[in-house]
Structure 1
Amino acid sequence: MLIMAIAQRAGPFLIGNESGARNETGSQPGDIGGSLVTRRVDAHPSYVKSRLAVPAFKLDALAKLGDLAFCEPMVIACSGVIVDGYARFELAKLQNRQTLTCIEYDWTDEQALQSLLRMQRRSSTLSDFARVLLALQLEPSFKEKARANQRIGGQNKGSSKLTEAAAVDVRSALAHEAAVCEGNITKVKQLMRNAHPEILEALRSGEIRIHRGWKLCEQSPEKQMQALMLYRSKRGIGKTIRNLIARLKPRPRPSKSDLARLTRLLSALNSGELGSINVLVVKATGKAVYLTEELVAALDAQEELTFE
């Protein structure tokens, strides 16, 4: 579903991004006027290609603001692609809103993408990995400009291959656009070739950082998943321990009947459900069985069916 947007062409301005930080676009629109136009808007093609999405917690926080969530105008390019305001755009679709206030700039899709990245540098909406994915969409254009500069400078005439110095300049420019170090550009390219899809999703969401994902992808796809699950388990266990300490309320120790119940419920699951359960060995003291909340919910549902 596309949202009809009221857009007003305007001059240089300060616009707030989704995080509340304010960024100067430094834009120079071709048309400056006061006329209002009505048009459709949509996500930037590079945003869609990179399979990015607004986190659910971000939408929930924005929804709690009510109508105040839409006070800040969205920023769009003349083609109708969104530059700033993705969370508002998604929330408007969920709420079936028909119009959104927008400020339109006379930008190409490439200029719009650069402005999108610039506005997200101080925002928590996009992870470092997500920003690099977007910046990499600019690489063909940056390379072509570097080749043109080579030809003007008389280097490698007639060759389409970049010199080592020019290639470094392109990588540096991409790192600048994504606000990351140059090494992360190379790491993300390797991740896109070698990482398990689940690792890529964890990187997009910001669950894991680029360097951790890069280290994981040195292993086979199967071992990558095992390492990711172990990392998630450790994080979950650590969070639980911290919460227990903070509350200063000792939890009752599992009794034999609890373990017997667990064994009985696991035995009642069909082979398909059992096959989807991963078993990991965690380095921890004592004798204990750790369950994920998803598995507990499944076992509770199984128990209800058993005694109906």
Structure 2
Amino acid sequence: MSGQTHAEGAELLRVTDLVKHFRPPRGARRDGPSVVHALCSVSFSVGPAETLGIVGESGSGKTTLLRTILGLQKPSSGQVLFLGEDVAQRRGKRARALQREISVVFQDPYTSLDPRMTVADILAEPAQIHRLTAGSRTAVTLLDQVRLPAASLRKFPHEFSGGQRQRIAIARALALDPKLIVLDEPVSALDVSVQAEILALLNELQRERQVSYLFVAHDLAVVADISHRVGVMYGGQMVELGPTGQVITEARHPYTRELLAAVPVPDPQVERAKPRMLQRQWPTETDGLPPCPHGDVL
């Protein structure tokens, strides 16, 4: 996807200096740190009809970032603004409105769908939760948009392949016509050929519905294939952020360069000549990652 960015000031989501710290259980403090810096001064924005890809290894802070954006946990400091309103300050009806405006597609299509519900019930559930009217025609339209036949409405999740289940999950995410969809490792559990189909579908849906994506994954190649801009997370910090083409061809941070080196190349000689990923235990200043300046914020 091209490296186009949203117009200045036309922001759907803005994350500013986001900090989230956790205090480990008492028994774990003897051998480990007294405070875990899950997020440290993370800042970025997402514009209308834009895809921002967030890439990073396990433990980089991606899950904590998503939970804070979705309002599932409060930040230690910093702000998450959605349509100019602080997510952490939303209460009552405003908090429920956020659930309609931001949808989520989860990683595992085998566990994210209730096996006891038909597809028709799965697609109708979001409207029922928010007490909105939704008919069978809406469900048929949603299935058509994700390229599944109307006959799928009568079936249960176990009757579908992994890729088809993820299409159903995407249809459910579209049910309330959200402005932003958070995609949490949406293709990592799928075969490579199916991954390509799902990514192509997401691109089509974005063009048709002008929805924005926050696409989170550990695979830089997958993220780069769908994103307008890419952010690289390491040790709770956003160590690199920019247009996709620029991050891929002009990576500045050592960790980003290592992620690029980890992408497989079909030429065995080129693959053998590539530098290997370092075995890291925890980020240090020698990695180009300064210590979190908000160590006492809890």
Q: Sort the TM-score into its range (normalised by shorter chain).
A: under 0.3
Bigger helix share: 1
Higher relative contact order (CA 8 A, sep 6+): 2
Give the TM-score of the pair, scaled to structure 1: 0.25
If each structure's strand is expressed as a fraction of its own residues, which one has the higher value? 2
